[in-house]
Homo-oligomer: A and B are copies of this chain.
């Protein structure tokens, strides 16, 4: 009743396991009669190689792991989709591990990946990210995303959050808004801090006063934060949200308060998740090619893995830090007088 092993196949074909292995892996040369006998036995037993066993002896699993803090929202789904595409293209599998709110938790997850993956993509928007990979991964190829660049020599990718935020806020100022508020993400989140910093920078150089509200990167928290802002005696005339999910919450809060966007209050988000184009008014936001980022991350990790396997002295450019520069996408919510852009309906 148990699944057939390579030995069963060898026996039935009247050859050695080595020969079976040879025809199945394609390595080495096999005489035609042998090959067909093997194939026949494989067919008869409907044999499928046990990848776990294979991994143990080749010490490569063909799977890469992704450690991420959460799985909520469109950002992560787009990211994973991009990674999956790249993996498939390379015959790899993707194993995901999420909901790692704190560093200790993430560390445990990383450890539990040993022997299960060939490399890791770690999204740790926590402050203590550097320590994570350096100390915890016993020489497992790792690609850091959106984390701190503590040692500077770890292969990594990151979005220029500060710069993006600055662009957003400057855009609002250029549109004549003066009282620009910011709904920030979780304080423990590095990206949230960077975006907030960009906001503060822009506000400072405009000689304006900052107005801050605290959110959690979720739609509901954006709604709540905006409600607080709107209730204040000095109501803002624009709100820059730390991400699109919160921006959508802000939009809803404005609506609920009987105010109009962009007339009364302009709104700008960050990320350009698919939904940003669909809400009314269309959300002005900073575009990131999220899926593309995921794809690219996998590709980089894969070359890192290959280099490690080839024992080449880690090609210099592997260790670089790649910066993704977000691009401002102007829709209706910021009140810019662009020609009213119709929806394309072109999203797949």
**A interface vs B, CB < 8 Å?**
1-4, 46, 48-56, 61, 63, 71-72, 74, 76-77, 80-81, 84-85, 88, 93-99, 111-116, 135, 138-139, 218-220, 222-224, 248-249, 252-253, 255-256, 274-275, 278-280, 342-343, 345-348
Contacts and interface: CB of A to CB of B under 8 A. Distances in A.
14 contacts: A50-B115, A51-B115, A53-B56, A55-B115, A72-B348, A84-B98, A93-B96, A94-B96, A220-B346, A223-B345, A253-B345, A255-B342, A275-B275, A279-B280
B347 A220 contact: yes
A55 to B, nearest CB: 5
Given A56-B56, A95-B95, A111-B48, A219 B345 contact: yes
A334 to B, nearest CB: 18
Contact of A56 (B52, B93, B114): B52
**Residue among A49, A113, A252, A256 with most chain B CB within 10 A:** A252
Given A72-B348, A255-B343, A280-B280, 5 more contacts: A52-B55, A55-B115, A218-B348, A256-B342, A279-B279
B1 A139 contact: yes
A96 to B, nearest CB: 6
Nearest to A96: B94
A77 B216 CA distance: 20
Contacts of A139: 1-3
A153 B49 CA distance: 27
B52 A116 contact: yes
Contacts of A94: 95-97
A341 to B, nearest CB: 12
Contacts of A2: 139
Contacts of A274: 275
Contacts of A348: 72, 218-220
